Amino acid sequence: MSVAQTEALNFECETGNYHTFCPISCVAWLYQKIEDSFFLVIGTKTCGYFLQNAMGVMIFAEPRYAMAELEEGDISAQLNDYDELKRLCEQIKRDRNPSVIVWIGTCTTEIIKMDLEGLAPKLESEIGIPIVVARANGLDYAFTQGEDTVLAAMAVRCPDKAPEAEKNDRNAIQKLLHFGKKKEEVAQEESEYVDHPPLVLFGSLPDPVVTQLTLELKKQGIKVSGWLPAKRYTELPVLEEGYYVAGVNPFLSRTATTLMRRRKCKLIGAPFPIGPDGSRAWIEKICSVFGVTPQGLEEREAQIWASLEDYLQLIRGKSVFFMGDNLLEISLARFLIRCGMTVPEIGIPYMDKRYQAAELALLEKTCQEMGVSLPKIVEKPDNYNQIQRIKDLQPDLVITGMAHANPLEARGINTKWSVEFTFAQIHGFTNARDILELVTRPLRRNNNLKDLGWEKLVKEEAKV
Amino acid sequence: MKLAYWMYAGPAHIGTLRIASSFKNVHAIMHAPLGDDYFNVMRSMLERERNFTPVTASIVDRNVLARGSQEKVVDNITRKDAEEHPDLIVLTPTCTSSILQEDLNNFVERASIEAKADVMLADVNHYRVNELQAADRTLDQIVQYYINKARRRGELPTSKTEKPSVNIIGSSTLGFHNQHDCTELKRLMADLNITVNAVIPEGASVHELKNLPRAWFNLVPYRELGLMTARYLEQEFEMPYVDITPMGVVETARCIRKIQQVINAQGADVDYEGFIENQTLYVSQAAWFSRSIDCQNLTGKKAVVFGDNTHAAAMTKILAREMGIHVVWAGTYCKYDADWFREQVSEYCDEVIISDDNGAIGDAIARVEPSAIFGTQMERHVGKRLNIPCGVIAAPIHIQNFPIGYKPFLGYEGTNQVADLVYNSFTLGMEDHLLEIFGGHDTKEVITKGISADSDLSWNKEAQAELNKVPGFVRGKVKRNTEKFARDRGLSEITLEVMYAAKEAVGA
């Protein structure tokens, strides 16, 4: 394949009919992440049935998550929104007594113009529980951007000054790292850090990954002052003007903007810590902002790559097509290209070229260094057209939403659910292997079955 | 507003889409915001469907809200018409987009001018009916549409089939064990020498609908889906229908006797008594199970039943009449059809409960402490918490309700399956006695917990805390791998760093 070095990334907006999960799905992981929270999704039966069936979370989440199901009286404004929400929130307070109630607005509350932001402050002071309002609706957002709406709303609620007394132990991660240590030891440990302005990271990650990334930065002498979100709402990080912030997820552009504009924080624009290449670039960028020369990162990256070799052999030279679902596509594609794969197309529901600028630059650089063509980036793709393109291209792997996986498999195309990358631990050096475990699984499975000759399991060539 | 944790029936558009995508070569267009089209995911994942679900969402976003959706919806209809050549395109809004009160009927009219396919708007009120009612209504609407169309063209058949024949109405995609039930019913009809004139909607073509009046009668096995259509056909063509669910030995016999009566009234001369007796006594294992020594121990055991009307009513009758089990209460979430349910089950249980509040149902179960529950996935979940076994007998559907093997609930094979389900839900026979006498099989106390005593490695507090966060089923593996890693490197203390280094090294 010849490579034009001058080639620039090609963006296209197909504005087609595409499927992703509704952004309210973020409650599936956020209620687990923020342990003292209660999520109230204000929407219709359609929203509730989605969470129950497609996400399968309702049954497990019962105690800390519920629907405020809008009925005909609510829609036709015969009932008073404030009174109705008050009744529900009082019941939630009685039953669960959470530290925060997060109202998740939906398409329906948008359309009937329910003034959630107006209602919340009054109700919050009346019932004595903070109410955070996030508009995770499908009119404006796709899938993972739901998290973005929640974090952007929470960013506004972060304290702007830590009370003196608590200052030393408000941060849960620091507490964990200092657990059981004497004061002198803590003080001694503090000296392991270089002197730099406070840094807060944003993005919801499982606790083990939070610890891993915090430790990676600690190795460079960089102290993470807090995470948005924290394990508990009461432990939201302090955000003073001039604090530095860095994101770990590519779908958090609104949160980034809020942190910059409303909280006057300085955003560190870096590629995302996904894959050893991204993780190194992310740490390096943070180091460079604080004037720290990174130690041992190159070796660390090399060592991780070496440990991935068995998986790399399976995917080198193979092609992967992203239909577009969770906005992790650019980062994953960049990592997989570095692994030796080719990517003809990256579908993505929404592309914020500014927030993802560093990631896009790394993608471009990676393609040049690996000597492969730049992928076509298709925003709001049309799934029907994509399936035609997949038929023509016959990629070795398609990363797709759940609705298309089985039909593609039945036509002999290897697939992986994009949603698995949303839920798996994929960030940092440590978890690079887990990404490849997912990516190679369909290839390994189908390798195991290849002698059976069961490739196409539909009779007529599908009328797709 | 209603505080809801769980729903027994889905929203209306799911019902409409279940009907539309059950038919062959029918495409549905949803007028809906991004993410409302999860029906495609349900069908593809739960049914493990090999074909692309013929449903396309015409996405409502800010742009569409500002400009109105007419152009986009009409474009999408004509586009699908050209791409897939469907016979029919069904347009449906969702709860959300129905509030926009756009003139969807007008969009349909506009699109019909251009499209080769028939185009219709599913006529359903999204705030007043649920999935089940909407499915019933949409099937009725499609049947009426094609009957009327054929009538206008003078294509309606004027005669019945020569031999007794039936339309089986109500088998649909994403229905609870519907595919297997349908196969079983076809076998049953073959045994009764009755020709199947049509099965709708699953696998049917809309072109066949005009031939529905040729059948001698309609069979409506499910209370929730098909009754409106059967009533319409009765009214239009004086076609009789049989709406006795053939579930359980007694009800299957009653259904067959009713069929006999219906076709003999039209000039046939059949006597199915011999068939019923043979099936009941010698072929089906269920009647024998009822008399077997195993089932003796079920006598007087307490059970509760909850589900949709069809399955909850049938199950209550089976437990009470065929197995001698004491049904403490029977309940349904089909509130809209509660009278029918009461009338069906009152004499077979102590109490009837009509509710779609899963909390209230959970409390009602806890209150009576039954030996077994027959309910939905939600009651299974409740049962797990209360340590009471639960057999799942009704929707909402779950991937477990799409078994690869043959598991009908209806007909004579259905009676066997139900007997197995009941049997496996109770602890029975000698096992029951052993449990009573000895208090269970695994009475040994667990002596060591967590870190094994002979380990030469110490885990510091952070690492121990981290290890405890690892899900139980892999914790042992993570621990072993980490310790092996530490031992190989001569480390005596396991810290967080060691744990993660081990993970990177072995990919554990």
Phi/psi at B427 (5° precision): -90, 135
User: What residues of A are in contact with residue B7 (Cβ under 8 Å)?
Assistant: 45, 48-49, 52
The contacts of residue B336 (CB under 8 Å, 6+ apart) are B129, B130, B133
Nearest to A407 among B35, B50, B84 (CB): B50
pLDDT tens for residues A367-424? 999 999 999 999 999 999 999 999 999 999 999 999 999 999 999 999 999 999 999 9
Question: Percentage helix, strand, coil, to 5, in chain B?
Answer: 50, 15, 35
Q: A259 and A122: one domain?
A: no
Q: For residue A350, is pLDDT > 60?
A: yes
Task: Verify whether the Cβ–Cβ distance B13 to A106 is below 8 Å.
Answer: no
Same domain, A29 and A77: yes
In CATH terms, is domain B165-283 a member of 3.40.50.1980? yes
Per-residue pLDDT tens for B47-96?
Answer: 999 999 999 999 999 988 888 888 899 999 999 999 999 999 999 999 98
pLDDT(A189) > 60: yes
Alpha-carbon gap: A138 to the closest alpha carbon of chain B (Å): 5
CATH code assigned to B12-129: 3.40.50.1980
Could you tell me if A268 and A322 lie in one domain?
no
Please report, for the domain that includes residue A269, its CATH number.
3.40.50.1980
Mean pLDDT, residues A93-98: 92
Q: Show which of residues 175-194 on chain A sit within 8 Å of chain B, judged by CB atoms.
A: 176-177, 179-180
**Domain total in chain A:** 3
Rounded CA separation B268/B260 (Å): 9
Q: Are B357 and B9 in contact (CB under 8 A)?
A: no
Q: Which fold has domain B458-506?
A: Helicase, Ruva Protein; domain 3 (1.10.8)
Instruction: Indicate if B294 belongs to the active site.
Output: yes
The yes-or-no answer to whether B12-129 and B165-283 have a common fold is: yes
Does any domain span residue A166? Answer: no
Residue A397 and residue A320 in contact, taking contact as beta carbons nearer than 8 Å: yes
Residues A433 and A319 in one domain: yes
Q: Are residues A316 and A431 in the same domain?
A: yes
State the pLDDT confidence band at B18, using cuts at 50, 70 and 90: very high
Would the pLDDT of B439 be above 60? no
Q: Phi/psi class of residue A412: alpha, beta or left (left: φ > 0; alpha: ψ in -120 to 50)? A: left
Confidence of residue B469 (pLDDT cuts 50, 70, 90): confident
> Quick check: A60 pLDDT over 60?
no
Boundary (domain end) residue, out of A117, A141, A165: A141
Q: How far is CA A87 from CA A80, A91, A103, A120, A128, in A?
A: 11, 6, 14, 13, 14
**Residue A1 confidence (pLDDT):** 42
A56 Cβ contact partners less than 8 Å away, ≥ 6 residues apart: none
B237-244: long-range contacts (C-beta < 8 A, 24 or more apart)?
Answer: B237/B213, B239/B213, B239/B215, B240/B216, B240/B265, B241/B169, B241/B217, B242/B217, B242/B218
pLDDT of residue A5: 47
Contact A40, B24 (CB under 8 A): no
| Residue A413: partners with Cβ closer than 8 Å, 6 or more residues away | A390, A394, A395, A398
In angstroms, the Cα distances linking B469 to B24, B314, B472, B478 are 49, 45, 8, 11
Per-residue pLDDT, averaged over B244-251, amounts to 97
Report yes or no: A446 at the B interface, CB cutoff 8 Å: no
Q: What are phi and psi of A204, to 5 degrees?
A: -90, 115
Residue A163 included in any domain? no
* A397–chain B nearest CA distance, Å: 18
Bin B18: left if φ > 0, else alpha if -120 < ψ < 50, else beta: alpha
| Contact status, residue A323 vs residue A418, Cβ threshold 8 Å | yes
Same domain, A209 and A240: yes
> Could you read off the pLDDT of B181-206 as tens digits, one per residue?
999 999 999 999 999 999 999 999 99
Provide Rg for chain B, Cα atoms.
28
Confidence at residue B484, expressed as pLDDT on a 0 to 100 scale: 84
pLDDT at A288 over 90: yes
Residue B437 has pLDDT above 60, yes or no: no
The answer for B429, left when phi > 0, alpha when psi is -120 to 50, beta otherwise, is left
Decide: residue B313, CB within 10 A, 0-12 exposed, 13-18 middle, 19+ buried: buried
Other beta carbons within 10 Å of B234: 14
Over residues A439-445, the mean pLDDT reads: 93
pLDDT of A430 reads 93
Give the per-residue pLDDT at A238.
96
Can you state the angle between helices A297-307 and A275-289, rounded to 10 degrees?
170
- What's the rounded Cα separation, in Å, for the pair B63 and A316? 42
Residue A454 pLDDT greater than 90, yes or no: no
**Per-chain mean pLDDT for chain B:** 91
Chain B residues in contact with A381 by the CB 8 A cut-off are none
Q: Count how many pairs of residues, chain A against chain B, have C-beta atoms within 8 Å.
A: 200
Q: What ipTM did this prediction achieve?
A: 0.90
Alpha carbon B367 to its chain's center: 27
Q: Are residues A340 and A400 in the same domain?
A: yes
**CB-based contact, A373 to chain B, within 8 Å:** no
Q: Is A212 exposed, middle or buried (0-12, 13-18, 19+ CB in 10 A)?
A: buried
Contacts of A91 in chain B (CB under 8 A): 3
CB A143 within 8 A of CB A250: no
Mean pLDDT of B408-412: 97
pLDDT at B312 over 90: yes
Contacts of A176 in chain B (CB under 8 A): 462, 465
Q: What is the mean pLDDT of residues B105-129?
A: 95
Cα four-point dihedral sign B138, B142, B145, B148: negative
Is residue A200 in some structural domain?
yes
A291 has a pLDDT exceeding 70:
yes
Say whether both A381 and A254 belong to one domain: no
Architecture per CATH, B289-435: 3-Layer(aba) Sandwich (3.40)
Question: A212 and B500 in contact by Cβ < 8 A?
Answer: yes
Tokens of B66: 């500002």
Cis peptide before B164 (omega within 30 of 0): no
Is B469–A407 a contact, with Cβ atoms under 8 angstroms apart? no
Structure tokens at B193: 């020498």
- What range defines the domain where residue A346 resides? 10-15+299-452
pLDDT at B253: 98
- List the domain boundaries for chain B: 12-129, 165-283, 289-435, 458-506
With 80 as the cut, is the pLDDT of residue B432 above it? no
Whether residues A75 and B381 touch (CB distance < 8 A) is answered with no
- Residue A4 domain-assigned (yes or no): no
- Token pair 């899900």 is at which residue? B471
| Residue range B128-142: mean pLDDT, rounded | 97
Distance CA B417, CA B407 (A): 6
| A397 near B CB under 8 A | no
Query: In the predicted model, what is the mean pLDDT of chain A?
Result: 91
Angle between helices A207-219 and B461-469 (to 10 degrees): 140
Interatomic CA distance for residues B411 and B253, integer angstroms: 9
Residues of B in contact with A50 (CB under 8 A): 35-36, 38
Distance between CA atoms of residues B47 and A433, nearest Å: 32
A111 to chain B, any CB pair closer than 8 A? The answer is yes
User: H or E stretch including B326?
Assistant: strand B326-332
- Please determine, for residue A115, whether its predicted confidence score (pLDDT) is greater than 80: yes
**A308 and A185 in one domain?**
no
Q: Is pLDDT at A435 greater than 60 in this prediction?
A: yes
Between CA A69 and CA B36 the distance in angstroms is: 16
Q: What is the DSSP string of B359-392?
A: HHHHHHHHHH--SEEEE-HHHHHHHHHHT--EEE
DSSP letter at A236?
A: P
pLDDT, position A163: 66
Query: What mean pLDDT do residues A245-267 have?
Result: 98
pLDDT of residue A302: 97
Residue B238's pLDDT band, with cuts at 50, 70 and 90, is very high
